[in-house]
Structures are given as C-alpha cells and as structure tokens.
Amino acid sequence: MVNVILGALLPVIVTLALGMLAGWRRDEDTKAAEALNRMVLVYALPLALFAFTITVSRQELVSQWPLLLALLAGTVLPFLLAFLVDRYLVGRTMQAAALQAMAFGFPAIAFTGIPILTPLIGDKATLVVDVAGLTGNIVILPVTLVLLSYAEEKERSGSAKPCGSGQQQASVAALATMSLRHAFTQPVVLAPLFAIAFVFTNIHLPSVVTGSFKLLGSTVGGISLFASGIILQSQSLRFSFSASISTLARLLVIPVLAYLALTAIGQSGDLRKMTVLALGLAAAPMQVILSTRYGCDKEENASVLLYSNVLSIPSLAFLIWLTQ
C-alpha cells in the first residue's frame, strides 16, 4: 500500500524539486513563476474545472448526497474555523487568514485523488473526486477569492495596509460589492458554475468539445507544482510554525475528526472510508497560485505544499489502516 501512495505522490515531489532546480540554476525566476501561475489561474484551470465538472451527471449528484454532505462538512467547517481563529484570535490579515484557511479546507483531491484512491476503493474514486471537486470549486474557492478580493479592494481604497499588518475601517457595503463582482467574474469561478448549470439543466456538450478543453487543462498540476518549486527556492527555507499547523490539520486532525464524527452517527462503511481518505490528501497548489497572485505569504503557502506532500506518505498509510 505504501508503494501505491508513493507512486501517486512521487511525481508531485519530483515536479516540485525540478522547479526548485530551475530556480537554483536561474533558468527561471519568481516573475516567470508568477506568469505561469497566472496562466493556470486564468486559462488552464478554468478549462480543467469545466471539463471535469460537466462529466458529473445529475443522477450522481442526487444519489450521492450523503457523500456530498460529508465532504462539504469536512471542508467548509475547517475552512471557517481556521479563518475565524486566524483572523480574530491570532490577528492576521484577511488575506493571510483566508490562505491559511484554504490549506485546511482545500485538499488536492483533483490532483492526487484518482491515483491514490482507485487502488483503495476502486471505481468509486472517480465519484469521490467528482463530488469533492464540487465542494472545493463551487464553495471554498469562490469564498476564498471573495475574501482576497475584499482585502485587495480595501487596500486600494487606502483604508487598509498590505498583507502582514493592520486592521482597518472602510465602507463595507461598497467594498463587499466590488469584491463579489471581482470574484464572480473570474474564469476560475465562472467555469464550474456554468458547468453545474449545464448539469442541472441536462445540457450535454459533444465529447469532442469537452475533450478539446483537456489539452491545456491537463497541464494544471504540473505547471502549478513547477512554479511552486521556483517560489520555494527563491525563499529562505526555514521552519514555519503556521505552515506546520496547517500541515498537521490537513493530514491528520481533519480526517481523524471526520472519522470520529461519521463513526458516532453510525457510518462505518464506504462512506466513512471515502470521506476520510479524501480529506487526508495533501494541500493543493491552488493556495500557492493565489498567494502569488495576491502577493501574500508566498513562502508560508509554498512550505505547506512541500510539507504536506512529503508527510502525506506516512499519514495516508495511517488513515488506510484506520479505515480498514
């Protein structure tokens, strides 16, 4: 089983390492990484999300509502709790808190879900990835973008300080309107929303059309990980307490709590196994893409990506044992 996990995660680690090597050799720099991440965010990822989401049938969504609720609770609740604690108890900025909350609520199911989960739960792995993709792409990602956009608009208005300091006063209604408009006009948010609308209205696109989106869409994982490696190399690598907390929560705390909650309500079969293993995957490259886009805590978020992918090998082995 360790070979299965290693086989799925080794390409992630190697791609990160190659990005770090390119940065060390000065073949690429952080400006190149930012350009790559912008391409992923504006073009490749929206195409991938649309092509991925539109394959989910309306019948699947209706029949798998218990799994949808379990994954929704296992991502949204940690996201909200982490954001509130980070923002109002720790006192970090809205952007920093939103990005750390994303580490809690946005596992890399779309990147490593299929290769890791298929040997463990068979064909149901595709269903888990489909359903989990909805919770992340329709809920967590838009909410994160709204929070990041709100903070950015506040800074532009002159009523806020940049990432890393300060608390502010501004016209909440005006800033909220601008941030919502900004977030919900982003291709990365519109693409899955349009796909969901197509699914529920039973509109089917020809396979040749959806297939044409996959050429660029399939580059999301490799390019975002390579760019994250460049960013990692450009930073002074040192221990990060915040990144360690995010990694521990992502790999162990959240999936174990999900296991206990589902066991407490009498769920001990496939639902519990699928939910726990999906929630135990490493952090996604998305938070590094967004931290680069909004210029906030790039080093910390790249560290979370590195820590969680390396340490997910023993943590997933433990979760597999736990759910047997």
How do residues 1-47 score in pLDDT, each as one tens digit?
A: 667 677 767 888 888 899 989 999 988 888 888 888 888 888 988 88
Query: Given a cut of 50, is residue 168 above it in pLDDT?
Result: no
Encode burial over 192-231: b for 16+ CB neighbours within 10 A, e otherwise: bbbbbebbeeeeeeeeeebeebeebbebbbbbbbbbbbbb
Look-up: residue for tokens 């519109």? 190
DSSP 283: B
Cβ contacts of residue 101 below 8 Å, gap of 6+? Answer: 78, 79, 80, 82, 83, 86, 144
In 10 A of CB 241, how many CB atoms?
8
Q: 129 vs 24, which has greater pLDDT?
A: 24
User: What confidence score (pLDDT) does residue 196 get?
Assistant: 83
Cβ contacts of residue 298 below 8 Å, gap of 6+? Answer: 231, 235, 288, 291, 292
| Confidence grade of residue 167 (pLDDT, cut at 50, 70, 90) | very low
Query: Given a cut of 90, is residue 181 above it in pLDDT?
Result: no
Cα–Cα distance measured from residue 175 to residue 168, given in angstroms and rounded to the nearest whole number = 12
3-state DSSP helix/strand/coil % of the chain, to nearest 5 = 80, 0, 20
Longest Cα–Cα distance in the chain: 55
Q: 116 vs 260, which has greater pLDDT?
A: 260
Cα–Cα distance measured from residue 115 to residue 8, given in angstroms and rounded to the nearest whole number = 6
Which regions of 22-129 does DSSP assign to beta strands (E)? none
Amino acid at 110: A
Look-up: residue for tokens 């190149």? 32
Cβ contacts of residue 67 below 8 Å, gap of 6+? Answer: 127, 128, 131, 271, 274, 275
Cα–Cα distance measured from residue 229 to residue 15, given in angstroms and rounded to the nearest whole number = 8
Cα–Cα distance measured from residue 186 to residue 188, given in angstroms and rounded to the nearest whole number = 5
β-pair partners for 107: 283
CA neighbor of 128 nearest in space, from 144, 113, 149: 113
- pLDDT tens digits for 264-284? 998 888 889 889 988 998 888
Look-up: residue for tokens 């519990």? 272
User: What confidence score (pLDDT) does residue 159 get?
Assistant: 56
Query: Given a cut of 90, is residue 88 above it in pLDDT?
Result: yes
Question: Across residues 120-129, what is the average pLDDT?
Answer: 73
| Confidence grade of residue 112 (pLDDT, cut at 50, 70, 90) | low
Identify whether the C-beta of residue 102 lies closer than 8 Å to the C-beta of residue 290. yes
User: What confidence score (pLDDT) does residue 74 get?
Assistant: 93
User: What confidence score (pLDDT) does residue 199 get?
Assistant: 86
Question: Across residues 182-199, what is the average pLDDT?
Answer: 82
Structure tokens given for 290: 């967004």
164-178, 199-213, 289-303 — which is least confidently predicted?
Answer: 164-178
User: What confidence score (pLDDT) does residue 87 get?
Assistant: 93
59-63, 114-118, 161-165 — which is least confidently predicted?
Answer: 161-165
5, containing H or E segment: helix 2-24
